[in-house]
């Protein structure tokens, strides 16, 4: 099947969108929540990947809500993979394509291999497979981690990427303990970037920044070798807010400096958009209270909790040599950064 020639009408406003094909490869008819930003990420991902693409997806919302027998929203070939298997499914798929093409068993062509996983499947259970995938430079693959900050499909349990203090089904706020989620969110793209020097491309982006997201997915797919993109996707169900606020919350997370738009192409770290302006000191970060107070999962927060949250965000911007990305405060050559 060839890519249709349709494109968005060329109009003055937001000209960058006009380069996109109008065609959807992840289409209407998925049983996701109202305002599901992860579904939007799937749409963006499929749109820029195009028809010569294979997608595997781990168990989670983007499995159960999307594909329920005998129904699917995918126009691309899609296959389920187990919760912790995004990396291994990508390796297996890519290795098979490589072997079959080399041996002349199937035509030799460029086929995108994308494995998507969630914060639970990728950041917790499947972390070892992400690591293995980032190491194996023989295979062209993209791991896309859609981070909605909990095990959302199973009705919202804390993952290693749930923000500190948030209420989930396993970390409720109670009469004796106000906060029961004690772990600070792990930074998976930075973790992978720091430990896998042979990975070609690592990126962090947000569903609220569609063009940034699509550019990053496209950049990843154009690279040879393993690549990783993480997206920050507001989840109206688990975060507990009016679904129509989804997009604004995604943007707000970046404005507050909680989510950072960055990528690392062949070892070169770059910041994008609002995050770049924040790094360059051209834009002040918004107080995290604006973001936290709009979500039911933080409704139990006392002022001191918000202050603590703010202090951790401040630290990652003010003390880290790579602001918002990697917690390194000091180099062997002295205190870090010429910014101070």
**Of residues 61-120, which lie at the interface with another protein (CB under 8 A)?**
63-82, 84-85, 87-89, 91-93, 95-100, 102-103, 105-106, 111
Site string for another protein, 193-212 (x = CB under 8 A): -----------------x--
To which residue do tokens 């430079």 refer? 137
Contact call for residue 165 and another protein (CB under 8 A): no
Contact positions with another protein (CB under 8 A) in 309-338:
none
> Residue 8 CB, nearest distance to another protein (Å)?
6
Q: How many CA atoms lie within 13 A of 238 on its CB side?
A: 28
> Residue 97 CB, nearest distance to another protein (Å)?
6
Q: Judged by CB under 8 A, which stretch of 14-22, 141-149, 220-228, 305-313 contacts another protein? A: 14-22
Residue from 62, 120, 124, 129 in contact with another protein (CB under 8 A)? 129
SS3 for 101-137, per residue? HHCCCCCCCCCEEEEEEEHHHHHHHCHHHHHHHHHCC
> Residue 73 CB, nearest distance to another protein (Å)?
5
> Residue 255 CB, nearest distance to another protein (Å)?
15
- List the alpha helices (DSSP H) in 178-327: 188-195, 210-222, 236-239, 246-255, 273-279, 288-292, 303-318
Which of 86, 219 has the CB closer to another protein? 86
- Cβ contacts of 90 within 8 Å, gap of 6 or more: 56, 113, 114, 115, 133, 139, 141, 142, 143
- List the Cα angle 311/314/319 in 5-degree steps: 115
- Total site size for another protein, rule CB under 8 A: 100
Quick one: how far is CA 150 from the chain centroid?
13
Which of 75, 310 has the CB closer to another protein? 75
Site string for another protein, 239-268 (x = CB under 8 A): -xxxxxxxxx--------------------
- List the Cα angle 46/40/78 in 5-degree steps: 40
Residue from 45, 114, 143, 167 in contact with another protein (CB under 8 A)? 167
Residues 103 and 117: their CA atoms lie apart, in Å, by 31
Residues 228 and 127: their CA atoms lie apart, in Å, by 12
Site string for another protein, 20-49 (x = CB under 8 A): --xxxxxxxxxxxxxxxx-xx--x------
Quick check: 82 and 58 in contact, CB under 8 A?
yes
Token couple for 230: 């993480």
> Residue 102 CB, nearest distance to another protein (Å)?
7
Contact positions with another protein (CB under 8 A) in 218-237:
236-237
Quick one: how far is CA 335 from the chain centroid?
31
Contact positions with another protein (CB under 8 A) in 272-311:
294-297, 299
């Amino acid at each position: 099947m060839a890519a249709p020639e349709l494109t968005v009408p060329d109009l003055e406003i937001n000209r960058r969108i006009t380069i996109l094909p109008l065609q959807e490869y992840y289409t209407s008819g998925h049983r996701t929540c109202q305002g599901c930003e992860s579904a939007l990420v799937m749409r963006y991902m499929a749109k820029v990947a195009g028809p010569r693409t294979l997608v595997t997806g781990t168990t989670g919302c983007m499995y159960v809500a999307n594909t329920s027998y005998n129904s699917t929203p995918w126009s691309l070939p899609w296959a389920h993979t187990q919760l912790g298997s995004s990396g291994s499914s990508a390796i297996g798929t890519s290795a098979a394509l490589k072997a079959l093409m080399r041996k002349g068993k199937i035509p030799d062509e460029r086929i995108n291999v994308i494995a998507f996983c969630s914060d639970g499947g990728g950041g917790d259970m499947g972390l070892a497979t992400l690591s293995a995938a980032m190491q194996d430079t023989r295979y062209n693959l993209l791991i896309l981690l859609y981070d909605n900050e909990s095990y959302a499909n199973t009705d919202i349990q804390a993952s290693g990427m749930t923000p500190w203090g948030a209420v989930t089904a396993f970390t409720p706020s109670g009469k004796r303990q106000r906060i029961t989620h004690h772990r600070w969110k792990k930074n998976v793209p930075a973790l992978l970037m720091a430990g896998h020097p042979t990975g070609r491309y690592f990126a962090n982006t947000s569903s609220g920044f569609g063009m940034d997201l699509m550019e990053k997915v496209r950049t990843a797919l154009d690279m040879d070798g393993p690549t990783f993109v993480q997206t920050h996707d507001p989840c109206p169900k688990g975060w507990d807010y009016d679904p129509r606020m989804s997009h604004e919350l995604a943007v707000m997370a970046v404005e507050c400096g909680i989510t950072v738009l960055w990528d690392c192409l062949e070892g070169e770290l770059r910041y994008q958009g609002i995050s770049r302006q924040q790094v360059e000191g051209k834009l002040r970060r918004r107080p995290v209270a604006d973001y936290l107070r709009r979500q039911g999962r933080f409704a139990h927060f006392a002022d001191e909790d918000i202050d603590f949250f703010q202090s951790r965000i401040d630290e990652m911007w003010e003390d880290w040599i790579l602001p918002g990305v990697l917690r390194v405060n000091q180099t062997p050559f002295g205190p870090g950064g010429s910014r101070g």
